[in-house]
Amino acid sequence: MNAERIVRIVAGFFILLSLSLGVQASPVFVSSYFLFFTAFVGLNLFQSGFTQVCPLNNILAKFGIKGSC
């Protein structure tokens, strides 16, 4: 498994988790402030598409996980 695939999996998991904790219709609702975390992950994905800078990708590289190229 390469780093880009791991980044997509982790980002998707964090978005789904924060939505389930932040939406009032959810049975595991905690606080609507979790929606700020959803926005943070989305903005981070957006900026990494333009700048090629992703903090999780840098962390995975330190653990020795290679990119797709």
Is residue 34 within 8 Å of residue 44, measured between CB atoms? no
pLDDT tens for each residue of the chain, 69 residues long: 899 999 999 999 999 999 999 999 999 999 999 999 999 999 999 999 999 899 999 999 999 998 766
Kindly report whether the global pTM for this prediction surpasses the value 0.75: yes
Alpha-carbon 40 to chain mean position? 8
The residue written with tokens 């957006």 in the block is: 46
Which tokens hold the place of 60?
């995975």
* Phi, psi (deg, nearest 5) at residue 65: -85, 125
| Tally of CB atoms within 10 A around 67 | 12
Alpha-carbon 53 to chain mean position? 13
